[in-house]
Structure formats: structure tokens, C-alpha cells
Amino acid sequence: MKFIPNTDAADITGVTAGTNLSGGGVSGDVTISLADASTSAKGAASFASADFGVSSGAVSLSDAVVKAIGSDSGTANSPEGHSFTITGGEGIDTSGADSTITIAGEEASTSNKGVASFDSNHFVASSGAISLATSMTLASTTITNTDLRWTSATSEKPLISITNTTNDTKAGTLKFKKDKGSAGADGDDIGTILFTGDNAAQEQTDFASIIAEISEADDTDEAGKLTLNVAESDGSTSALSPGLVLEGEHATDGQVDATIGNGSASTTTVAGDLSVTTGLILDSVDVTTIQTGSESFTDNDTSLMTSAAIQDKVQAHYSYQYTNFIGNSDIATNWAHPSVSGANAHNWNVDTGEAGTTVNSTNIDLGRSYSTIGFTVPFTGVLVGFYGTMRNNNNSNQGALGLFHTAGSGVWGTTGTANYKLQAYAVQGYAGGAGSNYKGGCYVVDLSRSLALTAGDIIIPAVLEATADKVYFQITMVIKTLIP
């Protein structure tokens, strides 16, 4: 730099270099030099055209140079070297190529935040707000948690519905599973359903429960127990007590015991019919039979009687009537009965031509005039049978006595015949007597019958002997009638 003094001014005696300048002098030509600029001193500088613009001495940053970076929070100025780094936070990845910087969200996982898509079967997305779908389809899902709660302020909600749409006979399952990691034991609870609500003091109170448990845990001999509990109170304290207990019996195939009620004061009401297929235990007595009015009375300690059966039994007091016939006969091999002169004529000399001895099957046809030789039933009753004695006159041949019966409605009149059927029958017996011979007195007994009789029925006595030897006999017929 050269300065030419102005002679019109005062005299210059010297030139001195200032800050960051060098040179100077007191006479002649003087040179002043400017040092290069640095980060710590002013000086002469040149400007890279890629980074700066210079016009009429004015210097500015090029538009291509990033001067500052704005963000949602704070501003980052361009550092030395005009480079900066964009670092992704959790769930964000950054990358650069040429003049392009790419910022991408990572996919979300169980261990990393990130971007996610929401299955429309399970979620509803609206303006960025995500909510669970009101209905959804889930594959087999396991949820591991100590509590799972559904809460709703809507009446009759929440509603949990298990629906199976397969066209078969099977249905959905709500399964309680107890897996304690060691051997099961008698009394282990498997699952509980608890019903809790407000009492009058608005205190949350357990009012009912269903508990499933192990009754018998032995391998291959397992048995279960299901208890339905309800709250009961002594007036000051409430507690859950069993109202119905179902318990399977182990080592006993097909047996399940049921206990209904709790305590001797409990009342069990059955609406409708109660069917008991085996025994009914009352006061330690196993009642196995209910006798009705149409059944024969059985005297035991295991039967109860209906009112009709009791009435029949009370009224079923009978009077026994005895009618005696005496006679003799010498008709061989066939049944013989009195002549038309009657049984009191003693000589029973009418051969029936019938020798059969099958009760309620063997029968004879007699003319209607023979309706007068026997016994006419005066009242409704029952033929019990007879008790008689009999002996042979000369030979030891076994004989028999019998009673033939016909309904009174078919015997009246003068023409035709009536059919009489054998209804009581017995042969001579001498067991327990002195001597084994039918010539002596022998008993002839049949008291095992129960033939219903109607007023007007006819009963005719008859005798059956093996040969034409004379036999003597007497027969006492037994009939019972209800006492009015």
C-alpha cells in the first residue's frame, strides 16, 4: 500500500502499521501489508464461492448452505463444516443418501416401541384414536395375568357369550383348569364362580358361589365334588353354606350322592313329581315299596301304604263260614257227586265221567236241575278251600275230594247244562298217623285257594276214588266274607 502525501496539508513525519498490519516508515515510499485473517485475528480473507456470495464488498452465506435447523422444540445452528447429524429416538430409524435424509419408524414389537397397524377384526381406528372392536374373532389365545376384568355402566352388561356355529352335536366349553405343578390331593379346589353384590349398607357381600373340587385324587379312581353355596345368616353374621352338594363315589361305578339343604331345619320343596327308583330312607328305615289299594297286603317294615290301601286293609276283616258235607260213594275212577236228592242223602252216586285233577281247568257239565245239590253263595266272598277226612272200606286205595264251582248267572232254568270247574282239590294223607293205610281215617286238605265268589254262585262237592271200593268221607268247605 503506498501513500502520496498532500503537500498542502501539514507535514507527515511517518506511517506506522496498526493491528494485523505490517510495514510503515518515516521517509520515502512506505508499504503497509495486511495479514491473513484467522479465527483469532482480523485480516485479509477470500470467500469460497460455493459457500459465500460477495457483492460490492458485501459478504453473505450462499443459499445452498444450511444456516439453522428448526424443530418442534429448539433450534440447531449449522456447526463448523456445515454438517449435522439427525439421530432417531426409540422406535425411529434415520438414513441419508446424496441430498436426501430418510426418517422411518421401526415396527412395534413386545420389546420395542414403533409403528403398528391394527387388525380391523379386533380394533377400530378413527382420527388416530384406537379402541377395541365391539366384537372380534380371536385364534387360540392364552392370556397370562392375575386379573381380567370387564366393567360396564350399561344395564345388564357386561355380557359374555360363548357361541359355537359348527353343525354338529358338540358345543363350546368354559373350562376351569387347576395345574399346581405337583400331585393333586383330596379337597383341592378346581374352580370357583362367586356372586357378589351390595347389601343394604352398600357393602360388597358374597351371596352365592359354585365350587368344583377333587373328592378323591387317587390315580384311576378319581371322583369329583360340586357344591352350590348360598349366603345364610344367624341374624348378625352371614356366611356361604352348601345348599346342594353333588359328590361322585370312588370305587363304586355309576354312583353319585346328592345332599340337599343344610341342617335339620332346612326345607326342601319339590315342584311336580318326585320319582324314587329304589329305596326311600326315613328315620334310618329303607322303604322300598309303596302298596296301593289294588295290591295284596304285605306285612313288613320296608313298605308304606297309600290311603286307599290303608282303607282296604282296615276294611278287609273277614268272617269265615264253614259248611260241612257228609257222604259215601263207590263210583270208580271218575268224580262222583250227590244225586238230585242232595248232598244230605249221603250216597254220592252220580258218575261225572271226568277224572281230571287240574284246578281251574278240569270241568264237568251238569244239568240245571243239579243246581240244588250243592251250596249257593249268599254274599260276595272268597273260597279258601276245604278240610276233610276220608277212609276206604276194604282196600288201601288213595282217594281225593274236590269242589266244583260255576257262576250263578248260568245255572238257572230247566233246560240245558251248566259248566262247573274244579277250584279246590286234595288227596288223602296219613302222615303223622298210626299205620300207613288208606283204610283208616286220612286227612284231605286244600286251604290254599282264593277264588272270588259272587252272590248266587254254586259250589258242588265231589269225591274221586281209584276203585269201586266203598269210601266214606266228610268235607268242610271254608268261605270268607268281608265284615260290613
The pLDDT confidence band at residue 83, using thresholds 50, 70 and 90, is low
Residue 86 confidence (pLDDT) above 80: no
pLDDT for the residue numbered 1: 47
Q: How far apart are CA 462 and CA 475, in angstroms?
A: 9
Domain with 448, as residue range(s), is 318-482
Higher pLDDT among residues 74 and 382, named by residue: 382
Which tens digit of pLDDT belongs to each residue from 305-317?
888 877 777 666 7
Residue 87 confidence (pLDDT) above 80: no
Burial class of residue 403 in the structure, from the number of CB atoms within 10 Å of its CB (0-12 exposed, 13-18 middle, 19+ buried): buried
Residue 294 confidence (pLDDT) above 60: yes
Would you say residue 115 lies in a domain? no
pTM of the model: 0.46
Instruction: Kindly report which listed range (1-5, 72-76, 130-134, 272-276) carries the lowest average pLDDT score.
Output: 1-5
Question: Do residues 224 and 215 make contact, with C-beta atoms less than 8 angstroms apart?
Answer: yes
Higher pLDDT among residues 112 and 357, named by residue: 357
Q: Are residues 364 and 397 in the same domain?
A: yes
Which tens digit of pLDDT belongs to each residue from 384-419?
999 999 999 888 889 999 999 999 877 777 778 889
- Whichever domain contains 474, its CATH number is 2.60.120
| DSSP states of 412-428 | -SSSSEEEEEEEEEEE-
Q: Are residues 288 and 396 in the same domain?
A: no
Give phi and psi for 307, each to the nearest 5: -60, -35
pLDDT for the residue numbered 146: 79
- Closest listed residue to residue 359, CA positions, set 420, 407, 419, 422: 422
Q: Are residues 369 and 244 in the same domain?
A: no
Q: How far apart are CA 184 and CA 293, in angstroms?
A: 55
The pLDDT confidence band at residue 30, using thresholds 50, 70 and 90, is confident
Q: How far apart are CA 86 and CA 298, in angstroms?
A: 106
Question: Do residues 125 and 117 make contact, with C-beta atoms less than 8 angstroms apart?
Answer: no
Would you say residue 405 lies in a domain? yes
Q: Are residues 312 and 323 in the same domain?
A: no
Give phi and psi for 95, each to the nearest 5: -150, 155
Q: How far apart are CA 248 and CA 256, in angstroms?
A: 4
Would you say residue 219 lies in a domain? yes
Q: How far apart are CA 259 and CA 429, in angstroms?
A: 60
Query: Which domain-ending residue is among 232, 264, 296?
Result: 264
Would you say residue 180 lies in a domain? no
Would you say residue 223 lies in a domain? yes
Would you say residue 143 lies in a domain? no
Higher pLDDT among residues 68 and 385, named by residue: 385
Query: Which domain-ending residue is among 198, 230, 264?
Result: 264
Q: Are residues 412 and 350 in the same domain?
A: yes
Q: Are residues 359 and 461 in the same domain?
A: yes
Q: Are residues 390 and 451 in the same domain?
A: yes
- Closest listed residue to residue 410, CA positions, set 366, 441, 444, 440: 366
Q: Are residues 337 and 364 in the same domain?
A: yes
Residue 204 confidence (pLDDT) above 50: yes
Domain tally for the chain?
4
Which tens digit of pLDDT belongs to each residue from 143-153?
777 788 889 99
pLDDT for the residue numbered 119: 83
Which tens digit of pLDDT belongs to each residue from 329-352?
999 899 999 998 888 878 899 999
Q: Are residues 307 and 379 in the same domain?
A: no
Q: How far apart are CA 190 and CA 174, in angstroms?
A: 13
Which tens digit of pLDDT belongs to each residue from 222-268?
999 999 999 999 999 999 999 999 999 999 899 999 999 998 899 99
Q: Are residues 293 and 426 in the same domain?
A: no
Would you say residue 140 lies in a domain? no
Would you say residue 392 lies in a domain? yes
Residue 74 confidence (pLDDT) above 60: no
Q: Are residues 437 and 459 in the same domain?
A: yes
Higher pLDDT among residues 163 and 20, named by residue: 163
Higher pLDDT among residues 173 and 14, named by residue: 173
Residue 308: which residues within 8 A CB-CB, separation 6 or more? Answer: 292, 293
Which tens digit of pLDDT belongs to each residue from 122-171?
888 888 888 888 777 767 777 777 788 889 999 999 988 888 999 999 99
Q: Are residues 335 and 413 in the same domain?
A: yes
